[in-house]
Amino acid sequence: MSTDFPDDLVQLQRDLHQATAGLRTFLADHPEPPEPIDGTAGWSSDDKARERELRQRLHDLIAQVHTHPYWDSLSGPDLVTARMKLKHVDDAGG
């Protein structure tokens, strides 16, 4: 099985990693609940909008990676293996 991924698929995966990291960072910077609870102030409307944007970007990228035409050329264990390799395409030694 070849795992010579198309450049656009690799870029989508990189964008997905970046979007995941961006959402993770945003949430780490906003540990309080979005809505006021038990004396917390909650998030501003701008912060709530930013979170929605980050989550929507993440969902869009997941869909683009998942439905990329490259996957049509694989099936069964080869498909699973290739998907896992793509997730780690930029890992050291991977």
Q: Is residue 80 part of a domain?
A: yes
How many domains would you assign to the chain?
Answer: 1
- The residue with greater pLDDT, 94 or 9, is 9
pLDDT in tens, 20-65: 999 999 999 999 999 999 999 999 999 999 999 999 999 999 999 9
Residue 2 confidence (pLDDT) above 70:
no
Q: Mean pLDDT of all residues in the chain?
A: 94
Q: Is residue 88 part of a domain?
A: yes
Which structural domain range is residue 92 located in?
49-94
The answer to whether the Cα torsion of 9, 13, 14, 18 is positive or negative is positive
